[in-house]
Amino acid sequence: MSFETVSQARSFGGTQFVYRHLSEETGTPMRVAVFVPPQAAAAKVPVVWFLAGLTCTEENFTVKAGAQRVASELGLILIAPDTSPRGEAVPDDPEGAYDFGLGAGFYVDATQEPWARNYRMRSYLERELPDLVAEHLPADMSRQGIMGHSMGGHGALTIGLRDPERFRAVSAFAPIASPLNCPWGEKALSRYIGPDRAAWRDYDACALIEGGARLPDLLVDQGTADGFLDSQLKPQLLEAACAKAGQPLTLRMQDGYDHSYFFIATFIEDHLRWHAQRLGAS
């Protein structure tokens, strides 16, 4: 397998790529956006992954967050994968709901039919795509960080907590803090994983922390004007789980900010510099 270049554009001295490849895990073509900074011409550079939220593709972060300027300065490769498998044969929510199916893979390996064949975003991101990145890009895979937004914040936290040896830095914007305890999470996990709530715990940051998973520290930004704050995101559950377990957490409640990419664009520089410090970037 290899990357096929869909597009490329010069940006802040580096190059913004969109690649396509055939995934064995999802059984579909997958697209991934990759920004390669100018420092990569001389040596391998650290990697920061960004996982997007419900309804998003690889494009949202790439065109809306304004991350390339700072990534170019710091010498970071930015990787933004799609949020789910896609294609005519890939099952979708029969009612066309935005919070399940296409664009809503929830970063799990589904075990229930008809989702189990294609919805394997956990294995895609934990094994398949990193192997491709290591083979084809000037990436220092010993220095990786991960961040995400909303559903992608849930993905970043859980993937990071499950593999602390891989990720030196983990952060999130308005993450779904506890999918076991919100409507989005209950809908997705019950359909993808099945009715046994014990099997859901591997996909819940609070449950993973309660079960002993640890990271050196966590950074989370959350807007106070976010319409999903109380019903879906519930950062207080993450704060409580971290406090009880002694897991370091910096939770910043940002006054007046909502759930949009205007919020992400405002604080993306803070997150990239936080990652760069922990990854030993310039």
Q: Which two tokens stand for residue 132?
A: 């491709």
CA distance 131 to 67: 24
Cα 235–239–244 angle (5° rounding)?
150
The pLDDT of residue 281 is 75
The pLDDT of residue 61 is 98
The pLDDT of residue 282 is 63
The pLDDT of residue 147 is 98
DSSP letters, 232-256, are II-HHHHHHHHHHHT---EEEEETT
The pLDDT of residue 87 is 93
Note down pLDDT in tens along the chain; length 282 residues: 689 999 999 999 999 999 999 999 999 999 999 999 999 999 999 999 999 999 999 999 999 999 999 999 999 999 999 999 999 999 999 999 999 999 999 999 999 999 999 999 999 999 999 999 999 999 999 999 999 999 999 999 999 999 999 999 999 999 999 999 999 999 999 999 999 999 999 999 999 999 999 999 999 999 999 999 999 999 999 999 999 999 999 999 999 999 999 999 999 999 999 999 999 976
Q: Is this structure's pTM higher than 0.85?
A: yes
User: What are the boundaries of each domain within the chain?
Assistant: 4-279
Fold topology of 4-279: Rossmann fold (3.40.50)
Q: How many Å from the N-terminal Cα to the C-terminal Cα in the chain?
A: 32
Active site amino acids: 150, 226, 259
Q: Which long-range contacts (CB under 8 A, 24 or more apart) does 12-21 make?
A: 12/37, 12/68, 12/69, 12/71, 12/72, 12/73, 13/37, 13/38, 13/72, 14/38, 14/40, 14/68, 14/71, 14/72, 16/62, 16/68, 18/58, 18/59, 18/62, 21/132
The pLDDT of residue 131 is 97
Cα 61–65–69 angle (5° rounding)?
115
The pLDDT of residue 1 is 67
The pLDDT of residue 104 is 98
The pLDDT of residue 189 is 98
Q: Which two tokens stand for residue 214?
A: 């640890």
CA distances, 277 to each of 50, 74, 223 (Å): 17, 9, 24
